Amino acid sequence: MSKVVTVLLADDQTLFREGLKDLLEDEKGIKVVGEAKTGPEAVEMVRRLKPDVVLMDIKIPEMDGISATKIIRSKFPETNVIILSSYEDEAHITEAVSAGANGYLSKMLPASDLVNALKTFTSESVMIPQPIMNKLINGLRQGVSKDSPETLTQTEMKVMTLLGKGKSNKEIASELNCSVKTVKNHLNSIFNKLGVTNRTEAVIKAIERGLISTDNQ
């Protein structure tokens, strides 16, 4: 039986929060375990409830979503934070991901797209759609490091490029004409070489190292 994903909603807009709760509670495999109206409340509820995922608004009272994300990801690393925001500029996206956010979604997404994105994330930990990824790349490319990590193989570079496009393991396997297990093996190798533990960190490190650029998109 599939694991039920527990979700905490952190947004001060009651109507939006309640609508999102109704939407998610209609989905099998997703359970909303709490609602927070402020940043400090979100941090406290994560401590108490230990949800799998927090859907976090950036503009939230008392402590903004970026600061709350940084605390949550530092103190409770098992909880993933997905920013759900009306802001789509490079600065906010870069700041959120640099604070440890596992993903970034627009509040303008259709409901079905949000649910599909959340389900994809919970199965594969990827949650940066291509339009957002392009802005993240643009925001980080100015600080590209000249230091090279351990050399990635040609196939690993292909996998890295597809990761940067927000592709799932299944989609990567299809493009490379290999099995999902093989893709996972490539990912483990990439993580070890880049010194990271998940897909989002790998993408950020690859951007910073110049392994992914807007030319790859």
**Does the residue 132 lie in any domain?**
no
Nearest Cα to Cα of residue 163 among 205, 189, 200 = 200
Distance, in Å, from the CA atom of 77 to the CA atom of 53, rounded to the nearest integer, reads 11
Using an 8 Å Cβ cutoff, are 29 and 47 in contact?
Answer: no
CB 121 within 8 A of CB 80: yes
The answer to whether residue 115 sits within a structural domain is yes
Contact 189, 156 (CB under 8 A): yes
Mind listing the pLDDT tens digit for each residue in 97-110?
888 888 888 888 88
Question: pLDDT tens, 173-190?
Answer: 999 999 999 999 999 899
* 105-126: burial string, b at 16+ Cβ within 10 Å, e else: bbbeeeeeebbebbebbbebeb
The answer to the question of residue 160 being in a domain is yes
- Count of the separate structural domains present in the chain: 2
E-only strand ranges, 50-106? 53-56, 80-85, 103-106
Phi first, then psi, for residue 80 (nearest 5°) are: -90, 145
What is the model's pLDDT at position 105? 85
pLDDT in tens, the chain (217 residues): 467 889 999 999 999 999 999 999 888 888 999 999 999 999 999 999 999 999 999 999 999 999 999 999 999 988 989 998 888 777 788 788 888 888 888 888 888 888 877 777 766 555 665 566 666 656 555 554 444 456 788 899 899 888 888 788 888 999 999 999 999 999 989 988 888 888 877 888 887 777 776 454 4
How many Cβ atoms from other residues are within 10 Å of residue 26's Cβ?
A: 10
Please give the Cα distance from 58 to 76 (Å, whole number). 19
Q: Clarify whether residues 149 and 107 are in a common domain.
A: no
Give residue 113's pLDDT.
Answer: 80
Query: Within this chain, do residues 96 and 155 fall inside the same structural domain, yes or no?
Result: no
pLDDT at site 122: 65
The CATH number for 103's domain is 3.40.50.2300
Contact by Cβ (8 Å): 161, 216:
yes
User: Residue 116 sits in which domain range?
Assistant: 5-127
Structure confidence at residue 137 (pLDDT):
59
3-class DSSP state for residue 216? helix
Beta bridge partners of 83: 56, 104
Same domain membership, residue 112 and residue 20: yes
Alpha-carbon distance 58 to 83, whole Å?
Answer: 7
Distance of CA 72 to the CA centre of its chain: 14
CB of 104 closer than 8 Å to CB of 132: yes
Specify whether 22 is located in the same domain as 97. Answer: yes
Predicted pLDDT of residue 208: 76
* Same domain, residue pair 73 and 152: no
